[in-house]
Chains A and B, each alone.
Chain A
Amino acid sequence: MSNWLILPVLIPLIAGIVALFFPKHVTAQRVWAFITSMILIGVNIFLLTYILSNGIMTLELGGWEAPFGIVFVGDSLATLLTTTTALVALPIIYFSFSTIGVEREKYYYYSFFQFLIAGVSGAFLTGDIFNLFVCFEVLLLASYALIGHGGTKTQLKESFNYVIVNVVSSAFFVIGVAYLYAVTGTLNMAQLSERVSEAGSEPIITVIAILFLIVFGLKGALFPLYFWLPGSYSVPPTAIGAIFAALLTKVGIYSIFRTYSVIFNEETAVTHTILLVLSAVTMIIGVIGAIAYRDVKLILVYNVIVAVGFILFGVASLNSDAFVGAIYYLLHDIVIKAALFLIIGALITAAGTSKLSGMGGMIKHHPLLTWMFFISALALAGIPPLGGFPGKLMLVVGGAEAGHYIVVAVMMVASLLVLYSVIRIFLQGFLGEPMLTHAEQHGSIKAQMPPIVFLVALSAFMGFGAEIMYPFVESAAETLINPRAYVEAVLGGNS
């Protein structure tokens, strides 16, 4: 049974490799990508429910027992994330059919996409910090390929920035792993957890913890490490921007979740205070960016940064309510960012520009798109009963419980400004005097609607069906608050 745990990585990996053999058969590429993504969803959902009833699942790769070999750990947090990943991958793939262009499809687009998913899923599942680095490399390489894919001028310029920054952050990652290995003599996260807590208040561990915060903060676009993000997320085609915005920062955030709960949970005074301050500033700088621009893509891109602040505020608050909030928020943010990116992509297709000043009155010809955007905008701002609300509510509850009233206030102001930033798109782009007649519009968006509707429905489900999700989220938060279960599952409680 435990071998199933490799499937979330293996399926996209093999799917991507197989797709390399028939690059010019676009229809076959599409069908193959679609079918394998469906299978991936099925497997993930199966794993998720299996783990909820049977507890944490582990897989020792190559049969080498932990902590010596690499181990995959399927707890609720990891599988919730792999499931959500699969659930957003499918609609984005569908969206690509009509938007990405046949040329890109012929040049391994779907393979890169699948490899990205493999890397992301691997990062969520691995229980080994060096393997986490390797999974990061997989997803980064795939993202390098995707961001420059097609090689337009702006893409190349921004992909240069993106690659350089990420190479540096990868270097820091390896350095951090080396430091950690020097001090603790192990790479297995469960054993790291044991050894770090045995070491007690060893100051060098705090330093290493901060280094990891910087490494993952660079991936997750935490203040002041987010500079690479706005450009690199806004230049590639919509489908690529959507998968980036939905997933890539989330891997960084997840890694902070994992390392800061399982490993660096002893001396929290310094590390979590830093995290608290950074999360608050991240919210602020994110909304400032979202308000500053009149380009719909940039507005959304900065909203990605705001969410990073929100979610990490939950980690900094360090109680189970806050973790429940952070996880709800994280999961929903994956979905809603994908949805909003796709919607904006469709909007840009119809309007022929990404500048707000050049669009107006979309509601006249595209009422469905308009309402999808409106609902998503409200969900993004955490308006109940939509999907963003349970997370936001529990973040407020957890934050108040931890006594971080000022950050709660910052969060609320940020939420309001988030709403302002997206409602402006609604008022100017979707309402207002129509600028173009139906005939003048730059292409049909009919084929782009199904994935959008799917994602918005998923987001709505996360709000109305919060109770259905709760056991999973609760159990995920439980492993974060009490990593004992995680450690025992990996090391069998005897080492």
Chain B
Amino acid sequence: MFTILHLAIIAPFLAAVLVPLLYKFIPRIHTGWFVLIVPIILFSYFLSYLPDVSGTGSVMKTFEWIPSLGVNYIAYVDGLGLLFALLITGIGALVVLYSIYYLDKHKEQLNNFYTYLLLFMGAMLGLTLSDNLIVLYTFWEITSISSFLLISYWYTKEKSRYGALKSLLITVMGGFALLVGFVLIASVTGTYSIRGILDASDQLADSPLFLPAMLLILLGAFTKSAQFPFHIWLPDAMEAPTPVSAYLHSATMVKAGIYLVARMTPLFAVSAYWFWLVTGFGLLTLIWGSLSAIRQTDLKGILAYSTVSQLGMILSMLGAGAAALHYDSVDNNAYTMAVAAAIFHLINHATYKGSLFMMVGAIDHETGTRDIRRLGGLMTLMPISFTIAVIGSFSMAGLPPFNGFLSKEMFFMSMVEIAHFPQYSVDSIGILLPIVAWTASVFTFVYCMMLVFRTFTGKIQKEKLPTKPHEAPFGMLLSPLILVALVVFIGFFPNTLVPTIIEPAMASIMPELAQTGSFGVDIYFWHGFTPELFMTVGVVLLGTAIFLALQKWNKMHAVFPENRLFNQAYNRSLEGLDRSSHALMSWHMTGLVRDYFIYIFSFTVVLLLFSLFGTGAFTIDVENMVPVSPYEAVLSLVLVGSSLILMFTRSRLKAVIALGVLGYTVALFFVLFRAPDLALTQLTIETVSVTLFLLCFYHFPQIFDALKETKFHAVNFVISVTVGLTVTLIGLSASGTRLFPAISDYFLENSYKEAGGNNVVNVILVDFRGFDTLLEILVLGIASLGVYSLIKLRLAGGENK
């Protein structure tokens, strides 16, 4: 049944259809105001589900889409899904509000922008609230596509199109991997329903398809969430308008991969591969992203790599949390905290990163640049933006009293804990996990400081700025202010989120553990003098030292040269693909039909001879054959002789005569085999065609002489002989294997009796198989019309039209 819930999920799509109309007919009002209504209503609607999902609750509504293929649109709201739904609609509302001030209603194609944005919103809701994997996949691809459209929104810019293509290729590649992974899972469990699959998870674990399915799904998740080495698309995606970067490319879409990993955790977490892959790639991305962020000079570039890095961090926590599923209950199970930390950080990241993007957008909007080498000293000119930047960045750096500090501490704690995990040989190299985490956090701290201090402190360089800087309009600051307010609020009252959102989401990720009791998550600032506190102190001290050193030195890029390795790999492989495919095609697609025949005939004879002798089908059965009479022998010689002349003659006239001889000899064969009417037909045809050929040749230019120089082609000779040989050999074998009486006896018997004709051939032609003849007449008719129009109708030009 199609319920309100389904309607809520597809509401953005419906609204997307209305947007162009609103844009066209109500141009006075910024279209964004109409659009804003959608996420606000949806946000309040999804808030009403909070009581339903508390504990381990969930709501499920099924609408049958293609039940025959097992594809049903099952809307499923549980803790994890609702968390995302609230993020999507909540951040969505703020982003739309922000965009109203960011995008000028006179200059921009608002109809396109909001259509894409709503398309994305609907797809993302559908993705996170679907129980059916195929429907999930459908929405997954729509998010990739809407992201593509939004990145290429300023479509005249070369870089936008480059970034759009890159993101599309990488995320759709992941999408296709995901599809195959889903199909493999379903082929074992027999269902596309996530609930059903989780019930059959034991079956899957024993299947040889377990590992391939897992790898494919991780490929999908990693590409979407910009994990190393697939992260390369995200920085280029920053060509999109800043509201889009804030929304898709930091707060929501890139978290679809994380959503998927979380969703699949109960299915795959039993495997050591899962633990190592998710944790390993997460940490690798974390450190790679943070290092790359330091090298950036574009504010959005810093934020892009920072997003890459933070996504890695969330994933690594989820990976570590997989360890929790090796325990039977929540008691004595410290690893559940890693999952809690992942979810908590996911929320925190959305709040501070969203505000930072919007802040950067405001700076870009008011100064005309995002280059930190040109910026500086904006503190007094843009005090509100500065406040936002400080709160957002300090939270990201993991400083108290902001929410980022809390989740960073939890992250350190879970990394320290996981180093002691007794399985998967974590004990041997597990100590690396907290070390990597800590090192990456130092770099994170450094770029957070860059973000604030390089932009807002120091000397203002007005001559380098395209426009005269001033504070952004209030409307543009409202959304980031709301977000930083949340950063502070969550920092002080983190536990308001615990029972409402975090614990239900944990229950979705660890459903079996959730049955055994409450997770007992309690988030607070002061844990005592624990390792994680010392780690934070270390981060601040070392980070400050590096930041100051770098600032003094001011040669950051010499120390950390821009690493383009993976970008180059992407560019080169695309270029190489274009080049080599073009080379391959122009090598064999010569446009000459004789070359094509060499390929076609070679393939044909090789395949046929191979099968003829390979299967043992070759037989020659002479028993049923009539002995060759002298007449026939002579006729055959004439036949062979005339075809040889036809091949080797250099004169048209001789060729036509040889052809005529060939035809008349065949007619003589018909006479010998007592088929006078066939012989007559053949004679007529031959006479007409020879005459026609002669007539035509009369009008031809004498190009035949030029052909005299043509050399003998051994390859062509071998191929043509083999073709003839193959046809003959198969013919002999076929006539030697007559397995059944032919239906021709029926024609002999009934020709006169039923059809009233003594000439069997005629009766076959006009009665038994009269339909063939009808169509053959049509063939002749078409041929003559075709020739007529070919002669009469000669349009000019050879260009493609």
Contacts and interface: CB of A to CB of B under 8 A. Distances in A.
Contacts of B740: 183-186, 195, 198-199
A145 B152 contact: no
Interface residues of A, number: 128
Contact of B584 (A131, A144, A292): A292
Interface in B717-774: 727, 730-731, 733-735, 737-744, 746-747, 750, 767-772
Contacts of B173: 416
B795 interface: yes
Contacts of A378: 145
Nearest to A234: B800
Contacts of A372: none
A486 interface: no
**A interface SS class:** helix
B532 to A, nearest CB: 43
Given A108-B789, A354-B800, A401 B187 contact: yes
B597 interface: yes
A204 B735 CA distance: 10
A444 to B, nearest CB: 15
B795 A150 contact: yes
B183 A393 contact: yes
A400 B184 contact: yes
A61 B771 contact: yes
Nearest to A122: B775
B771 A393 contact: no
A52 interface: no
Contacts of A210: 607-608, 611
Contacts of B180: 396, 400, 408-409, 412
Interface in A194-230: 195, 198-199, 202-204, 206-208, 210-211, 214, 218, 224-225, 227-228, 230
A131 B593 contact: no
B769 A69 contact: yes
Interface string B545-569: 0000000000000000000000000
B779 A138 contact: yes
A363 interface: yes
Interface stretch (A90-98, A246-254, A333-341, A382-390): A382-390
B633 interface: no
Contacts of A238: 801
Nearest to B736: A204
A348 B801 CA distance: 7
Nearest to B588: A227
Interface in B150-186: 152, 155-156, 161, 164-165, 168-169, 172-173, 176-177, 179-180, 183-184, 186
Interface in B184-202: 184, 186-187
B647 to A, nearest CB: 16
Interface string A426-448: 01100111100000000000000
Interface stretch (B98-106, B356-364, B612-620): B612-620
A13 B771 CA distance: 13
B425 interface: no
B603 interface: yes
A187 B577 CA distance: 47
A466 B595 CA distance: 43
A428 B373 CA distance: 33
A470 B730 contact: no
A70 B800 contact: no
Contact of B155 (A64, A218, A390, A432): A432
A445 B768 CA distance: 50
A427 B161 CA distance: 6
A206 B615 contact: yes
Nearest to A104: B793
B734 A179 contact: yes
Interface of B: 64-69, 71, 134, 137-138, 141, 145, 152, 155-156, 161, 164-165, 168-169, 172-173, 176-177, 179-180, 183-184, 186-187, 212, 577-578, 581-582, 584-586, 588-589, 591, 593, 595-597, 599-600, 603-604, 607-608, 611-612, 614-617, 619, 727, 730-731, 733-735, 737-744, 746-747, 750, 767-772, 775-776, 778-779, 782-783, 785-786, 789-790, 792-801
14 contacts: A68-B743, A68-B747, A134-B772, A150-B794, A152-B799, A165-B593, A165-B600, A183-B738, A185-B741, A198-B740, A202-B739, A400-B183, A419-B172, A470-B66
Interface of A: 13, 20, 61-62, 64, 67-70, 101, 103-104, 107-108, 111-112, 115, 118-119, 122, 130-131, 134-135, 137-138, 141-142, 144-145, 148-155, 160-161, 164-165, 168, 172, 175, 178-188, 191, 195, 198-199, 202-204, 206-208, 210-211, 214, 218, 224-225, 227-228, 230-231, 234-235, 237-238, 270, 274, 288-289, 291-293, 297, 324, 348, 354, 361, 363, 378, 381, 383-385, 389-390, 393-394, 396-397, 400-401, 405, 408-409, 412, 415-417, 419-420, 423-424, 427-428, 431-434, 466-467, 470-471, 474
